[in-house]
Each structure stands twice: as structure tokens, then as C-alpha cells.
Structure 1
Amino acid sequence: MKHSTTRWARIVALLAAVSIVASCGLLPRLGPNKREIYAGSVQREGDAFIVSINDRVTRTTAVVPALGFSEEFKNAGSLGSDTIRAGDTLGLTVWENVDDPLLGAGAGTAGGSGGPATLEEVQVDGSGFIFIPYAGRIKAAGNTPEGIRQIITAKLEDQTPDPQVQVRRIAGDGSTVSLIGSVGGQGVYAIERPTRTLTAMLARAGGITIVPEIAQVTVLRGDQTGKIWFQDLYKHPEVDIALRGGDRILVEEDTRAFTALGATGSQARITFESQSLSAVEAIAQVGGLLSIGADPTGVFVFRNEPAEIANQVLGRTDLQGAQRMVYVLNLTEPNGLFMARDFVIRDQDTLYVTEAPFTQWNKLIAAFTGSLGAVGTLTSTTDGLLGLASGG
């Protein structure tokens, strides 16, 4: 009888201890519950605004980063393949209708008496000039091969009868762009007739090597920078800008990401897989809600919202600076999934799903039964040892 009374006393003490643990919130869990989150609201002297998601909220917060080129980028005309720039290389051939030409054998790399004289790789200097024997120093930058041909012809006519001049433009240092990042072949490429635009140059470099949906293309031109989604280059041909010598082109993945915590299939930092990402897509991307532990009425999105959007969401005009906002989704409502489909997740958002109330109860029961079993085992062992001792 004494042993039985002692055993029940231990059980009662264990129940009291478990009750204390449960009331103090010391049982293991994934994070705060709904009650604790709501307790941190501004309405309850906290520092976050808690807002239930509806159609008006989804429209107000549907902000997707707008990427595009400035008008200065878009209005820059395509460089003609004949436009000469400093750093370009030219090739010239001159025919003279005389037996003893000015530019004969020894003046060029080829030719002779009565034959053509060829001057290959004539470099346009940094000031935009070239030098031609008997024609002198000629301004080439900003001109065309035809314009240069006429200038050289006019200068040679005073010294040789009826000269015939041909001028060819060869791609040079003054008409190149550099491509780096996630492209098939990084390097420096000349702007030639087939590669005057951004898409053509990307194709020349072997295309992109990342998923098109999250590829961003940045163009640096002097002190200007423009960025655009790769897919928009093909959806909107008007943004396929003309290139300029010295442009630097970078192709990289979208760096936006959100964090998933709580009763979801995966707790991690997740990168975006498309230009826009809805709440339901974000939930699916992390493996959905835990079927045995998630509370579908407690899906929260934590965000630092710019003041202009926060004021619109809350119907106010007095808020200044970024505001802590907690958006709430209830997937059990008739239109809950529609709200989740329309609500846009943004960069640096935290998606948090609370545990269902019965999950904590199950943990309490598990703690109770596990501890009770341990106590029972210990009691049986103790009783056995006492029995052996008394029999001995």
C-alpha cells in the first residue's frame, strides 16, 4: 500500500510539472503562435501593423520591380557599319592611271607600276585622324568610308590624274563591347553589321546560360546604367537598344529571395523562380504546409513596407519611413486560396506558418506519456531492487 501511494504521488507531481511546462510555453515548437503574433500588433501596443489580406490589399501591395532602359538608352540610334570612330582600323586601296604612280611598289603592301597600292590596318588615332601618304592627315572619326574616299580622292587629284580610291572599315578597338556573367562566351566583341543591338550581341556571345525567367541584363555605358529582364527583350522589341563602343554587358540571375519558416515543408531562404511570385506559389515552392502540423488559418507574411504603400493599406497619411507590416492569410476561407494566388511576395519577405493548436496538445501528451513511462520504468526497477534487498 505504501509503495502504491508513493507511485501515485510521483504521478501527480509529474502531471503538475507538465502543466507548468505547458503553461510557461517551454514545450518545443517552431515559433510564435497566432496569439503571440497578434499580441505584437500596434493595436496592442506592439510595433507591427497586422492586416488581413483582401482584394484591396492585394492590389495596393502588388509591386513588382520595374526594370527597363532610360529614354536616352532607347533613343540612341543604331551605329551604321560605316560610321568611323577613334580606335577603328581602315583598309585602303588606290588605283592610279599612270605608269609611275605616287603610291606604287614600296608605298603599300602590294602593287607596282600602274597597279593598285594597298594600305592595310590604317589605325584611327585617339583624336580621330589617319595619315595617308601624299594626302596628309585626314579627319576620319565621325565620317564614313565614302566620305573619307572623297577626301582622299580630292587631295590626290592635284598630284596624280583620276585616282580611284577604295576605303574599307575593319572592326577595331573603338567599336567593341565586353560581355561578362552568365553568357556562353565571355569576352570582348566587335560591333559589326549583324551585332549592332543588344539581343544580337548576346546571341553572338552564345546566348545566356541561366534560366530565362530570372535572367537580368545590365548595360553600363559611361556613368549610366540600365537593367532589363532578359525575356522583356523579346516581348518588347522597342527595348532592344543599339550598342555603343565601350558598353559593358552583364548577365546575372535575379537576386531576390524570401525566407520560409514555421510549419512548412522547407525552412530556408528561397530565391525567386520568376519575375513575380504569389503567396500560393511561394508556399508550393517550399513544399506546401505540413499536413500534420500547420494551421491554414495562420499564414503570415512579414515585411518592411514603404510608407507610401503602408499609408494606402491602412487608409492613413501620417506614417513616415518603412513600416513593419504583418499580412495574414486564412486559407480555410472560401476565397482564401484566391487571395493567396493574388498576393505578391516581395524581396526579403518572411513567410511564416503557425502550428495548429492541437500540435502543442500532442506534444504535451507525448511529453506526459513519455515521462510517465520513464517514471513507471524507474519505479518498477526500484521496487525490484528493494525486493531483492529484502529477500537477501
Structure 2
Amino acid sequence: MNSSRSGVVISVVIALSGCTELSKEGPTASAIRNQAALKVGSASNRSIFDYVLINVDDKIVHQFGKPERPSFYGTFGNAKSTPSRLRLGVGDVVQVTIFEAQTGGLFIPTEAGARPGNFVTLPTQQIDGRGLLDVPYAGPIQFAGRTVNDVQDEIAQKLANRAIEPQVLITLGNQRSSQVSVLGDVRAPARIDVNPAGDRVLDVLARAGGPASPGYETFITLERNQRKMTVAFDDVLSNARENIYVHPDDTVYVYREAESFLAFGATNSDITGSSSKIEFRASRITLAEGLGKVGGLDDSRADAKKVFVYRVMDRTSLESAGLDLKRFGPNHLSIPVIFQIDFRNPTAYFAAQNFDLKNKDILYVDNSGAYEVTKFLSLISTATSTVTSSAESVTAVGAARNTVLDFNN
């Protein structure tokens, strides 16, 4: 009977050796490969993407720990961070008032009598599609694209030979050309008139009712003259330099995005009940905080030396840090990067406190070699228990059969 038990054990072990898993909820990988009508690409172990592996130390933390944040100030420059001189434009409604030094002139006749003041106010007019506006005795005047002072001086010069020391005052009634569009996730989207004293990004947002979502999930895109930049609302709020002046015809678009990272591998996310997609719920978080959100490393599974952060980075930022990227073609402007951190190193936790996670990063913690051995031994133990149980059943059946034969004899 021992030989029967041994045969069963050997059969089960052989069966297990040909399997990669004991149960499946779908087709096997070999079935998928074999039944394909067309196979594209190589099935070899070659890397799908070329990537850069960076072992994190103090130098790397200094270079990459605090990624450069998008900037309005850096995009639109220092010169453009001052209030723009508002100019008249098509559609603006203006009123022209002409003053003369004394009566008896072109607009103030001698018989004006007790008329208050030596001036005349012309009816309000709208600047036409050509940018022009007619002024009596001065003719069509180009208003659009010019400042109020420039137009006033030109009208006064053209009336100088007819009026008595004329002076001109232009009042802007409806400023339709000097507006900013504030759209998106604000409480009151609108076209907003730009204050001649200058309005900043936060000023026009306030006039549009402010963001409708939490600040840490709010982003602002400013578009000007076919250039655009997106900056986090909290960055504009916390850094006065980012709160630049808006210009007429700017578009300010506000939207909501919950920044997050993905976590896989040997973490305690099952214990904390968190999913593999973890939202920041803050304007920025560090690697240490990210690990805290998933409950830290799983002591029974994790290899503390093999904690990885996957990120796609701009080629320029890598080259400026001195990395040789010749292996990547010149057209590869985005480079896959994997950062590896060894948490067996006592200083690694200081590094993790100074290494920011970015939106859509992937955090991966590898299993330790001891855990892989434990999994294998557990599989063998399960198989052995099954085999032992089967062998005992075979022994029991054989004994019963012998008893029946003895009874019949």
C-alpha cells in the first residue's frame, strides 16, 4: 500500500510541476497565444519601453525631490506681470467732451449766454468695426488699438485751427473690448471688464464667484496670445508672484482634478481598506505620506530595499540634471523613469519626507525573496496535504476490499 501512496504523491507533484496556478477564471495564456489569428510583436522578455533607473540618494533628492511646478510668472515673464495699458477697441461705447478756452469758438458761440462751462459733450457712440469714430470737424478718428490719451491728443490737434485752445476728454461708457473670459468650475462664469488699475488672476476669479471645488483639486489655465499654462490654485494662492496681472482678451479656465497615485505590491492597503488608486487630497504629498496612506510596507511580504516610484519625466529636466540620454532617440521628449529607494537605509525616511509624489505616479513595493519561498512551501504543503488525504483514502478503500474478500471466503 505504501507503493500506492507513493504513486499518488508522485502523480500529484508531476501535475503541479506543469501548472503555474491551481485555478483559473479565464483562458490560459497558452490558449490565447495559440488561438490568435495574427500575432504582432515579439514574445521575448525584452523590455517594452526603455527606461532610466535612478537609485535615490541625497543628490537625487536634491535634483528630483521637489519637481519644478508650472508657473504663470515663468511662462509669461516679468515684463508681462505688470498691469497692461488698456486700449480702446471695437464695440467700446465712448463719450467725447470738448472744452474751449472762451466763448465765441467753434463749439461755444458768443451768444451761449449763461450756459455753464465752456464745453460741449457729444452723444455717446460705439467704435465701429473698422475701429473708427466720427468727431465733428475732426473727421473719422482711429480709436481701436490706442489709449485714451493718444486719441484725446489727436482730436485736440485736429481742432486746433478751428476751436479756441481745445482740450478733449474721452469717457469710456461700456468697455466691451477690454474683457477677460472666466470659464469652467467657478460659481459665476462671465466676461469680466478689466479694471484700468489692473486686475490679477485672483481678482477676476473673485469677481466670477470663486472656484466651486476645494482648492487642492482646483487648477487654473491661463491662455494669452496662443500661449497657455496651467497652475494649481493653491500655488497661486500661496505664491504672490504667480498671481500675475491679466490682460484684455485673456481666457481663464478653471477645472477640477483630483490628483492621485497608484500603489501596487507589498503594502498594507488591504488592512487600511484603501484601493490601489490613492487621491492626494492635498496640493502636494511626499513619498512618506503616500506610504502612510497605504498603511506602510507589509512586514510579512515587502522587501524594504525594493521600493520603486514609476514616473514619466520631461527629457529637458533629466538632461539638465546631467543624465546621458543618448540611448533614447531625439524624438523621445518624455522619458520613463523608475526611482528605487532602499528603506533598509536609516536615512531613507528623511529622503522620503523630501521626495514629492506627482500626479499619476506609480508606487510599487516588491515582495521579498523569503516571501516567495514561503509561497512555494505553502503550495507544496497544500499539495502534500491533499496527496496524504488521497493516499489515506486509497488505503481505507483497500482495507475494506480485503475485509469483504475475507468475509466471502
TM-score norm. by structure 1 comes to: 0.69
Distance 1:301 1:200 in 2: 39
Distance 1:338 1:345, change over 3 A: same
Distance 2:22 2:68 in 1: 42
Distance 1:192 1:304, change over 3 A: closer
Partner SS state of residue 255, structure 2 = strand
Q: Quick one: which amino acid aligns to residue 187 of structure 1?
A: A
Partner SS state of residue 9, structure 2 = helix
Distance 2:258 2:293 in 1: 16
Q: Quick one: which amino acid aligns to residue 88 of structure 1?
A: D
Alignment of 1:280-359 (within 5 A): 280-303=288-311, 319-321=326-328, 325-346=337-358, 349-359=361-371
Q: Quick one: which amino acid aligns to residue 178 of structure 2?
A: S
Q: Look up the match of 1:65.
A: 68
User: 209, 212, 233: which is aligned to 1:209?
Assistant: 212
Q: Look up the match of 2:42.
A: none
Distance 1:93 1:385, change over 3 A: farther
User: Which has the higher mean CA deviation after the structures are superposed, 140-149 or 262-271?
Assistant: 140-149
Distance 1:49 1:139, change over 3 A: closer
1:114-165 deviations in Å (ceiling 9; x for gaps)? 7999866521123332235676534434242896499489859969x99998
- In the TM superposition, what is the alpha-carbon distance from 1:201 to its structure 2 partner? 0.6
1:171 aligns with 2:183: no
Partner SS state of residue 299, structure 1 = strand
Partner SS state of residue 177, structure 2 = helix
Partner SS state of residue 173, structure 1 = coil
Asked if the contact 1:94/1:117 (under 8 Å) is kept, the reply is: yes
Asked if the contact 1:50/1:325 (under 8 Å) is kept, the reply is: yes
Asked if the contact 1:183/1:206 (under 8 Å) is kept, the reply is: yes
Alignment of 1:219-298 (within 5 A): 219-253=222-256, 258-264=261-267, 265=269, 268-270=276-278, 276-298=284-306
Partner SS state of residue 352, structure 1 = strand
Q: Look up the match of 2:202.
A: 199
Q: Quick one: which amino acid aligns to residue 352 of structure 2?
A: A
Asked if the contact 1:171/1:192 (under 8 Å) is kept, the reply is: no
Partner SS state of residue 221, structure 2 = strand
- In the TM superposition, what is the alpha-carbon distance from 1:204 to its structure 2 partner? 0.5
User: Which has the higher mean CA deviation after the structures are superposed, 147-156 or 54-63?
Assistant: 147-156
1:8-41 deviations in Å (ceiling 9; x for gaps)? 44235545665x47xx97689xxxxxxxxxxx99
1:264-307 deviations in Å (ceiling 9; x for gaps)? 32664556555654322332344433344322222123455666
Alignment of 1:73-88 (within 5 A): 74-76=78-80, 77-79=82-84, 83-88=87-92
Q: Quick one: which amino acid aligns to residue 90 of structure 1?
A: V
1:292-325 deviations in Å (ceiling 9; x for gaps)? 4322222123455666776788x87574436665
Distance 1:127 1:287, change over 3 A: farther
Q: Look up the match of 1:107.
A: none
1:90 aligns with 2:94: yes
TM-score norm. by structure 2 comes to: 0.66
Asked if the contact 1:149/1:166 (under 8 Å) is kept, the reply is: no
Partner SS state of residue 379, structure 2 = helix
Asked if the contact 1:61/1:309 (under 8 Å) is kept, the reply is: no
Structure 1: runs of 5+ lacking an equivalent: 29-39, 104-113
1:176-214 deviations in Å (ceiling 9; x for gaps)? 111122222223222235762222111111112334345
Distance 2:199 2:63 in 1: 40
Distance 1:243 1:225, change over 3 A: same
Partner SS state of residue 360, structure 1 = helix
Q: CA RMSD in A?
A: 4.8
Q: Look up the match of 1:11.
A: 9
Partner SS state of residue 280, structure 1 = helix
Distance 1:316 1:165, change over 3 A: closer
Distance 1:260 1:7, change over 3 A: same
Q: Look up the match of 1:364.
A: 376
Distance 2:314 2:289 in 1: 23
1:204-240 deviations in Å (ceiling 9; x for gaps)? 1111233434543222122233444433434443443
Asked if the contact 2:220/2:253 (under 8 Å) is kept, the reply is: yes
Asked if the contact 1:27/1:364 (under 8 Å) is kept, the reply is: no
Partner SS state of residue 174, structure 1 = coil
Distance 1:119 1:242 in 2: 34
Distance 2:245 2:177 in 1: 15
Distance 1:50 1:138 in 2: 66
- In the TM superposition, what is the alpha-carbon distance from 1:55 to its structure 2 partner? 1.0
Q: Quick one: which amino acid aligns to residue 304 of structure 2?
A: P
Q: Look up the match of 1:55.
A: 58
Distance 1:129 1:67 in 2: 41
State the percentage of identical aligned residues. 21
Distance 1:211 1:178 in 2: 21
Distance 2:75 2:52 in 1: 39
Partner SS state of residue 250, structure 1 = strand
Alignment coverage as a number of residue pairs = 359
